[in-house]
Structure 1
């Protein structure tokens, strides 16, 4: 297994803005807080989001080609599992009531506000992910406690469940500062019959 870098342990963010200077400035503001990718086009953003596990998307609304609104609609259609922060010069109107974003920042945005919004969305996603992990891990744990290992090894659905649990645990650890106390408490609960 390759050595993990510090960036492997950071939340993954994607900055999407057609103004290169703006996108690069946001990426710079998030350095050390996230492993940041940037793109300057909506279609490229969708490609990246289809190929990689990205936790937080900072998305401009007004872009040539595929607009931020169209990217947002496509992510909603794909049931994107992550958080989306609109960062835009478009003043919000009542149209935002039906838009599936998680936060909305009006440009120009202060450095501290970008970082605070991303930190908050990472925490929210981290706890959501931890909840999903607990749900899956409870099923896996009770099956391991009650059924023979040979029977479990023959089940594809069990192996998929175990793989998904590990993926969620890694993601929660990446998103949250230190979920170890919650994980330890969960692990300490006896789920097997007496």
Structure 2
């Protein structure tokens, strides 16, 4: 696996949100020392804790107050944090219009978790087209891992996302070599559960 060390603020804040205390604490333990880590043991608590100081949210989907609702609230409130869905919920085509930045299916290797966070910290400095491109790329990648080629081809949502990603790629003002390096690093992360 290609690992690119990306620079970011040494005090980047990561909010871990999971209603299973042991899971949230395990992720927090992995991340401490490298990031300023906060934990929220459920969706409602996450909404009490999240603020402008949070850089990345690791958000479980399957909670009594769902991660999908937390994500919608974070975006409605205008917080500029990056959101990585970290979940055992296999994605379906309903994720197409969800405003997350990355999607990782549990169980997640430590190196993939760190790589995803680092990429989101770097992405925070990009302009909107590149950010949108990587969000779409994450959705396309996780759906490709979870669905058959026939299902993907039959999905108008998937085809629409693919077209939009191609349009964005054509618009991006990023040197080709740097872009290819970013894509290689981004796609090296194992996002799927299968």
TM-score calculated relative to the size of structure 2: 0.58
Matches within 5 A, 1:95-110: 95-110=94-109
Q: CA deviation at 1:79?
A: 1.8
Aligned to 1:59: 59
Aligned equivalent of 1:90: 89
1 or 2 for the larger relative contact order (CA 8 Å, sep ≥6)? 2
Deviations 1:124-160 (A, max 9, x none): 11445xxxxxxxxxxxxxxxxxxxxxxxxxxxxxxxx
Distance 1:77 1:127 in 2: 21
Q: How does 1:1-194 map to 2 (within 5 A)?
A: 9-50=10-51, 53-64=53-64, 66-127=65-126
Asked if the contact 1:12–1:55 (Cα under 8 Å) also holds between the matched residues in 2, the reply is yes
Tell which deviates more after alignment, 25-34 or 54-63.
25-34
Could you say which residue in structure 2 is the equivalent of 1:149?
Answer: none
More helix by share: 1
Instruction: Report the equivalent of 2:154.
Output: none
Write out the 4+ residue segments of structure 1 that deviate beyond 3 Å after TM superposition: none
Matched pairs, number: 120
